[in-house]
A and B are shown apart, each in its own frame.
Chain A
Amino acid sequence: MNAALLPLLFALGLSPAAEPEPEPEPSIALTVGYYGPYVIHPGVELGADVTIRTWDKGADRRADRRRGALTKTRSVFTGPRVAFFGRPQNHLSFMLGVGVGYRTFWDRRKVFSAWSLGASYLGTFQTISRTIDLSSGATTKRVRETQNAFLPTLTYSLGQELPSGLGWYLGLSLGRKLSFEREGSMFYALNLGLLVRLGSRSAR
């Protein structure tokens, strides 16, 4: 196990001593969706989730447990994220980062929830001036400055993933924008999108 993951696993309440089931091949899901910082700033995100460990667990319901049914799957995943978003007439932003998370999947309903930690670079092209043509009202020039920030986030997601490998997710990210040039500020974003598991693997 990668030693760098130990603190994360402790933080997520996992026992590093838990014995993972063998994972014969990595499972990769691609995600695409709306990425809305502060909910209202429109954007798009692309990402990939690579499942790196999976544990099958017993059922939540007593009846299922009696039958010995395995209806819940837990997994750890990681993957890159890229997002573009902006605020009309104000700024455009670019985010590139990686995340690592912990997901619980319920087989019967094909739904999942996940917690993930992300670390991203956030570049913002802030419009600091516009020139207005007084004969027409049109904007003739925009002056932009670049702002850079490190953005750690914690994301909670809910979603559904069908055996066909298609699914959807809805997430809320909370974080802190640690600007290199300015004071930091709270960051939150709404994520809503689709996922496609490559190779139509079972939804784990």
Chain B
Amino acid sequence: MKRRELLAGFPLLALLTSCGEDTGQYWDFEVNFTGRVTVIGAGAAGLAAGYILNRYGVDFEILEASSVFGGRVKRADDFADFPIDLGAEWIHEDPSVLAALIDDPSVNSSIDVLPYSPETVSAYEKGKLRDYNAGGNYYSEFKFRQTTWYGFLERHIAPGLLDRIRFDRPVTEIDSSGEQIRLLDAVGDTYGADRVLVTAPVKLLQGGSLRFVPELSAERLRALEQVSVPDGIKAFFEFSQRFYPDILFMTSPLDPDATGQLYYDAAFRKATRRNILGLFCVGAQATQYTDLPNDVAIRDYILAELDAIFDGQASAAYVKHVVQNWSKEPYIRGAYSTEFLGSEAEIIAALAQPHDRRVFFAGEALSTDNGATVPGAMQSAYAAVKTILKNAD
């Protein structure tokens, strides 16, 4: 089951999550390109693009709209005594994919992962808490034990790229009508490139934050509109006492219309004694949180929700919280691709086509096999860079 299907419903039946996209052999090809590549966005896809461009010694730079790299991969370092993923968290594939993404036999490093198989599973249905503990036997996932997705990128992908990333450069226009591609950012600076790889979130492209000259084709614009990127939020609460199960679905896990709205023990099998509860919500249900005016309002809303489920224990045991409202991030504006309004393969194929032969696209939404995941975003970037480098100027 792909992650998009998982998040569209049947959370507990995601036991058979599988991976399929070939993550190797990105490096075994002849490079015929000798020009300059500009990558837009320093999220997982943008960093992956920089990683492979750097490996091949290609002239490149990364223009990042915000002041940090990572995109929807983000970390809270000091909230607990272990790092917390405020964005992408689960590995979603066999953890050997981590080695495939690095694809460097000389790397002398290892990483600890934990099988994420919750043992206490509950669902809050029609005002009642129901036990689905046996359902944990059908759920198969992996998480990082001591690090995070951000930590993985920071340690294994980003080194060597930091002096190539230009932060606070929100690109507003890509003009490929001339001999050299001209990029314009929000403060009026311009950049030249021979190829451009756009890894900005689909939501930004849908919102017209990037202007293309010549304009994007009608087919691509239609494909963009067919990608559903709903609201998304994560929040973490520390409590003085634990009163919650390993995972709590806010709808029946067997409901085919269920969406991704769940609370989970963020400290599950981590080396800690602290009680950290996470909220993960993507989809229509997320809007009830993301539309609230500020983090305090979101905190109060969540505590009230938990109090109703657990007889007031949440407020009584509350210590602190942190909220990551992805819908309000100016250069993100939502979660990730959860659904395609049409043939997924055709829509992705339309989006993955280069624009005006020299402007390429990559990101989580463009991965056919591992969509909506960090590995999928990185793999789509590797594939796009491979296409760029194989072809002569």
A residues lining the B interface (CB < 8 Å): 37-38, 40-41, 87, 89-91, 127-140, 182-188
Contacts and interface: CB of A to CB of B under 8 A. Distances in A.
B112 A129 contact: yes
Contact of A38 (B111, B137, B145): B137
A133 B99 contact: yes
Cβ-closest 9 pairs across A and B:
A185-B133, A137-B96, A137-B99, A186-B134, A38-B137, A134-B109, A183-B120, A134-B99, A132-B95
A134 B136 contact: no
Contacts of B136: 185
A127 B104 CA distance: 27
16 contacts: A37-B137, A87-B117, A87-B137, A89-B140, A90-B115, A91-B117, A131-B110, A131-B111, A132-B96, A132-B113, A134-B111, A136-B105, A137-B96, A138-B99, A140-B110, A182-B120
A39 B294 CA distance: 47
A129 B117 contact: no
A45 B250 CA distance: 38
Contacts of B350: none
B173 interface: no
A123 B153 CA distance: 38
A108 B105 CA distance: 67
Given A40-B138, A90-B140, A129-B145, A135 B104 contact: yes
Nearest to B104: A135
B138 A38 contact: yes
A43 B271 CA distance: 31
A87 B156 CA distance: 31
Given A38-B137, A130-B113, A184-B133, 4 more contacts: A91-B117, A129-B112, A138-B96, A185-B120
Contacts of B15: 40
Count chain A CB atoms within 10 A of each CB in B106, B134, B138, B145 and give the residue with the most: B134
The CB with the most chain A CB atoms within 10 A, among B98, B104, B115, B156, is that of B115
Main SS class of interface, A: strand
B133 A132 contact: no
A162 B223 CA distance: 64
B107 interface: yes
Contact of B110 (A90, A133, A184): A133
B241 to A, nearest CB: 16
Contacts of A136: 99, 105
B145 A135 contact: no
A137 B115 contact: no
A89 B141 CA distance: 10
Given A134-B98, A137-B98, A129 B138 contact: no
A40 to B, nearest CB: 7
A90 B105 CA distance: 27
A185 B135 CA distance: 9
A11 to B, nearest CB: 24
Nearest to B136: A185
Contact of A135 (B107, B134, B138, B245): B107
B332 interface: no
B115 A132 contact: no
Contacts of B194: none
A124 to B, nearest CB: 10
A186 to B, nearest CB: 4
Interface in B79-117: 95-100, 102, 104-115, 117
A131 B120 contact: no
Contacts of B98: 132, 134, 137
Contacts of A40: 15, 137-138
A87 B138 CA distance: 10
Contacts of A130: 95, 112-115
B269 interface: yes
A134 B102 contact: yes
B119 interface: yes
Interface in B117-144: 117, 119-120, 131, 133-134, 136-138, 140
Contact of B269 (A128, A137, A140): A128
Nearest to B114: A129
B134 A38 contact: yes
Nearest to B102: A134
Contacts of A129: 112-114, 145, 269
A167 B107 CA distance: 56
Contacts of A91: 117
A185 B137 CA distance: 10
A139 to B, nearest CB: 8
A182 B119 contact: yes
Contacts of B269: 128-129
Given A40-B138, A41-B137, A183-B120, A128 B107 contact: no
A134 B107 contact: yes
Contacts of B113: 129-132
B105 A186 contact: no
Contacts of A135: 99, 104-109
B277 to A, nearest CB: 16
Contacts of B120: 182-183, 185
Contacts of A131: 110-113
A134 B112 contact: no
B111 A132 contact: yes
A132 B117 CA distance: 18
Interface string B11-25: 000010000000000
